[in-house]
Amino acid sequence: MPPESITKRENDTFDLENGGPKPDITAASQKSTMSIRRTKGGKHLRWCRLRKEVEIKDSTSGLIRGSIAAPANTSESKKKGITTVKTILNDISGSASPGEILALMGPSGSGKTSMLDVLSGRSAYDGGTITLDGEVVTDRVMKKLKKRVAYVKQNDLFFGHLTVRDQLMYTAFLRLPSAWSKAQKIGEVDRIIKQLYSVLYTYLICNVSLIWSGLKLRLEKCADSSINMISGGEKKRVNIGSELLTDPSIIILDEPTSGLDSTSAVALMRILETLARDEQKTIITSIHQPSSAVFFAFDKLMLLADGNVVYFGTPEESLEHVKSLGLECPAGYNAADHHMDLLVVDSAIDDEHDATANHPEVDQGDTHGGLRRRKKSIERQVLSGTTTKQKLIDSWDHEAVAKQIEAANEDAFAKSHGVRQLSRQQSSFMMEKSFNSTWWTQYTVLVHRSLKNSRSAIFTTLNLVKAGAIGVMCGLMWFQMPYTEATVFDRSSYYFFSMTFWVFDSMFSAYMAFPLERSIIFKERSSGSYHLSAYFMAKTTSEAPARLVLPAMYMIISYWMSGVNNSFWIFIASTACSLLSVLAGESIGLFLGAAVLDVEKGMVIMTVTGLGLMAVGGFFVRTVPSWILWLGWLSPFKYSYNASVQLVFDEPVPCDGSGVLVGCEGLDTGYASESEILEFLGVQFSTGFNVAMLIVLFITVRIMAFFALKTKKADERM
């Protein structure tokens, strides 16, 4: 453990047990090189009779898993197509204390994630109470509290192009109090990187055989690698590290070891153990089938099945509990596997049971413990007409545990001499600022992050080659067009083609980038990292220039190769129009990405919208049917085409006898006026109006994207 020292953090009301007035943050900012004092000690988190139900919409397809509590037959629900209400947490009671690790185990779908979502404040619940150090946490306090609880979700969501250090650094700058100096924040990141490494290191010197695997895992070594390149175990550490930066008292982890090999999993559990033992953090983690060593290292175990608790207590006593039900764990068998065997009801097991019953000889020659155990497990499934799982659910005394939790809460109240100590904490939560950093800090940090991310995401060799190759290809297709009557149509088609390609490109890349980014934003915002407006402004200002470089590169190559118009200023002005249409296209992509959460549906809507806007752009169809004429007002293709063509035909076009323009009457003498050409090409409105409409589209659709994102509630499952 690093030595304790010196300054306290701003808003450190969470450390109520240490008491004391609000810390002096000025001192913190002045002594920028000082190390930061970490809070020791977690909180007693208790939950009693927690209940959560979800409405399952009848999609008329597929089966509904799990236990169905009651059909919802109200006319309202029928109208909405809701047919059933499923109980996913059924009167769950339990507790976690400082310095302890509570492990949640249960088969897939048993409600582990749902419970962690509720306890971390990321998801609402329909009944029961959650208390912190004995006092009920109200809904309003929960909203604030969730920013003080580290929640490491199953998915490690990051911007993959950033390095590990970047990720931790941006998190530190967004989530640590703005009163901290830059040096303090950087020091904190270094400390976290070292902490996640040194715990492992200590472990490794005691376990020489694991040194090689450990080296693979060290976070220090990969601190400057991009997240895309690091291993699953390292990603998990980055995830944990990002959450630990804020020095939370309660750490909740959803299957932190999933996808890791056993060595990495054990090493990760050591880190949690150290956090619990040395820093007295309260740790709750779900876990799938841990090894025996890890299983017995947990302080408490909660077994879940179909949203019900089937056991809550120490891992050792869990074996006694199942033994008392006649379900003893065979000698030498992994206790965690045994519990899972009891809880998993698998149709394959039933089939196997039938097969074994019909062919007893399969069993006779078997001397392997595996098959015997399997058979034993099968036999348990059919115990007296009920499944073992059901037996375990029925035999657990929910009420007794709930009463114990209530008594513990009363005890905490009595210990505080009848004073609701937490009221002070809860009211200080309410008074706390929603964000640790200012809007401006958030904006600048996010601009920096976005620039770094978009630079690596947009300026890939492939993208540069794409822009260059298409530029050369178009330059060759429209190569050095003479400025005469015969090329009027080709000149306008050059613009329409260029815009179509780049507007579609920006629409789709903005749309495709958004689903991943959206999940990260929801995750970061649920822990109170920044204002949505700061994110949006940062994204708009930082990514727009990056997004424009590739089309600009294309224009430079293709424009001069094709000789559209030899005026430099016409090149600048028409390129600016094309780039504006790219920004408008990006806005449309962002809007659809924000409004339609389903990626497949979004792609369909996007394709239909894009093609519709292009069709009414005035190039392919001159006489657009009146019922769809309104769509033309929303088409960036149309405005950009209109403006560019007007710019390019800046002087009368010499007739060349090709007979393209009626005004030339098939002669190769004389000129066709600009207005005649624009009429021939079906161009509408003035250049200024078209440019103004592109700006309006770019801004209004982007604002709509912001509100679409704002109104979308973060998906609990993200």
Q: Using CB under 6 A, list all residues that contact ligand ATP.
A: 54, 56, 65-66, 88, 106, 108-114
DSSP secondary structure string for all residues of 184-240:
HHHHHHHHHHHHHHHHHHHHHHH-GGGHHHHHHH-TTTTTTSBGGGS-HHHHHHHHH
**Of residues 303 and 590, the one with the C-beta less far from ligand ATP:** 303
Cα–Cα distance measured from residue 646 to residue 454, given in angstroms and rounded to the nearest whole number = 34
What SS3 class is residue 50?
A: strand
Cα–Cα distance measured from residue 480 to residue 560, given in angstroms and rounded to the nearest whole number = 8
Q: How far is the CB of 62 from ligand ATP (least distance, A)?
A: 11
Alpha helices in 344-397 (DSSP H): 347-358, 361-364, 369-381, 388-395
**Of residues 109 and 468, the one with the C-beta less far from ligand ATP:** 109
**Of residues 132 and 303, the one with the C-beta less far from ligand ATP:** 303
Nearest partner of 409 among 129, 27, 113, 599, judged by Cα? 129
**Of residues 83 and 246, the one with the C-beta less far from ligand ATP:** 83
**Of residues 107 and 593, the one with the C-beta less far from ligand ATP:** 107
Tell whether the torsion through CA atoms of 180, 182, 184 and 185 is positive or negative: positive
Q: How far is the CB of 238 from ligand ATP (least distance, A)?
A: 21
- Tokens 């400025």 label which residue? 483
DSSP secondary structure string for all residues of 130-160:
EEETTEE--HHHHHHHGGGEEEE-SS----T
> Residue 469 has which token pair?
């190759």
Please return the burial class of 14, using the count of CB atoms within 10 Å of its CB with bins 0-12, 13-18 and 19+: buried
Q: How far is the CB of 284 from ligand ATP (least distance, A)?
A: 13
Q: How far is the CB of 286 from ligand ATP (least distance, A)?
A: 6
**Of residues 54 and 631, the one with the C-beta less far from ligand ATP:** 54
**Of residues 124 and 476, the one with the C-beta less far from ligand ATP:** 124
**Of residues 12 and 53, the one with the C-beta less far from ligand ATP:** 53
Q: How far is the CB of 518 from ligand ATP (least distance, A)?
A: 17
Q: How far is the CB of 715 from ligand ATP (least distance, A)?
A: 9
Q: Which residues contact 529 (CB under 8 A, 6 or more apart)?
A: 171, 174, 175, 435, 442
Give the helix/strand (H/E) hosting 102. Answer: strand 101-105
Cα–Cα distance measured from residue 339 to residue 306, given in angstroms and rounded to the nearest whole number = 14
**Of residues 108 and 461, the one with the C-beta less far from ligand ATP:** 108
Q: How far is the CB of 116 from ligand ATP (least distance, A)?
A: 8
CB neighbour burial string for 261-277, b if at least 16 within 10 angstroms, e if fewer? eebbbbbbbbbbbbbbe
Cα–Cα distance measured from residue 67 to residue 480, given in angstroms and rounded to the nearest whole number = 72
Q: How far is the CB of 43 from ligand ATP (least distance, A)?
A: 23
Q: How far is the CB of 365 from ligand ATP (least distance, A)?
A: 36
